[in-house]
Amino acid sequence: MNVMKRICFFLVFLTALCATCSAGEMVINGNGFKEPKSWLEGDTAKGILVDIMNHAGKELGVDFTYKLAPWARAYNLALKGEGGIFGISMTEERLQKFDFSDPVYYDTVVLVVKKGKEFKFEDVKDLSGKRVGTCRGCSFGPEYEKAATFFTLDTDTNNVQRLKKLLAGRIDAAIFSPGVAALNLAIDSDASLTKEMFTVLPKPLVNDANYVAFAKSLNKKAFLAKFNAVIKKGMASGEIDSLVSKY
Position 13 scores a pLDDT of: 42
Is there a contact between 174 and 111 (Cβ–Cβ < 8 Å)? yes
Position 204 scores a pLDDT of: 93
* 25-46 tens-digit pLDDT: 999 999 998 888 999 999 999 9
| Residue 63 predicted with pLDDT over 90 | yes
Q: Please, which pLDDT band fits residue 2 given cuts at 50, 70 and 90?
A: low
* 75-100 tens-digit pLDDT: 999 999 999 999 999 999 999 999 99
| Residue 17 predicted with pLDDT over 80 | no
* 43-57 tens-digit pLDDT: 999 999 999 999 999
* 200-243 tens-digit pLDDT: 999 999 888 999 999 999 999 999 999 999 999 999 999 999 99
Q: Domains along the chain? A: 25-105+209-245 (3.40.190.10), 107-207 (3.40.190.10)
C-beta atoms surrounding 42 within 10 Å: 6
- Compute the average pLDDT of residues 108-132: 95
Give CA separation, 245 vs 51, 173, 181, in Å. 11, 28, 12
- Compute the average pLDDT of residues 122-132: 93
Integer Cα distance of 227 and 102 in angstroms: 9
pTM of the entire predicted model: 0.70
